[in-house]
Amino acid sequence: MRATRLSRSGGAVLVAVVLAGCTADGEGEPSDPLVSEDPAPTEGDDPEPTEPDTTATEEPEDEPSPAPTDEGAPPLSGDPSTEPARSEPAWGGMLAVTEVRVATHDGFDRVVFGIDGDGGTVGWDVRYVDVPTSQGSGYEADVDGAAYLAVSISGVAIPPDLPPDIEVFTDEVDGPVGATIVEVVHDSIYEGYHLFFVGLDAEVPFVVALLDGPPRLVIDLHRG
């Protein structure tokens, strides 16, 4: 009840102050009322409606970038051949295939197997096979194309033994438009050998080389 009495008393004081302000203009006349500085709108002066902003347009969707062509890239040195190519590894390192890239160039197509890790060097066995057969299981691998190039990269470590920052490539890559490469398919890693299959439109001669800076196994497939 104490709070109610205080509220009513305060309200009475406020009314008295307002009344005193209305009559305290010297001669008992009420003071001028407060007016807004902005004139009131007259009849017929309706505010113009705000037009919606139609200038904003949707961002176009990103289109896939075309396959690299780089027609000025020189081919690997050596005589292209359809015969098997082989080189022994230097075992003892912690190496892995971490990426696969494909590109079409002037007169040849290229497959690049990026190598990461420390110690040793990888070897390879690259040859045409009638049927792409998975190592270890012996089952036929699913590879598109009319010809199949088996690429076995040796001297690699099994994934559990690798440092955590090295991720092994175990995916597929489609060939560039206009190239003889149809796709590159990861098969398996077995006892230090990482097997891939390159599906092609037809058998073509090739050259293989191991390059540095960074380490990578390169295969050039010569068209025509």
φ/ψ (deg, to 5) at 193: -120, 125
Which CA distances in Å does 2 have to 6, 8, 10, 28? 6, 10, 13, 37
78: left (phi over 0), alpha (psi -120 to 50) or beta: left
Higher pLDDT, 57 or 102: 102
Distance CA 83, CA 168 (A): 29
The string of pLDDT tens digits covering residues 161-190 is 999 999 999 999 999 999 999 999 999 999
For residue 18, the model assigns a pLDDT of 32
pLDDT of 17 > 70? The answer is: no
The domain limits of the chain are 1-34, 85-222
The string of pLDDT tens digits covering residues 103-119 is 999 999 999 999 999 99
Report the topology of domain 85-222: Immunoglobulin-like (2.60.40)
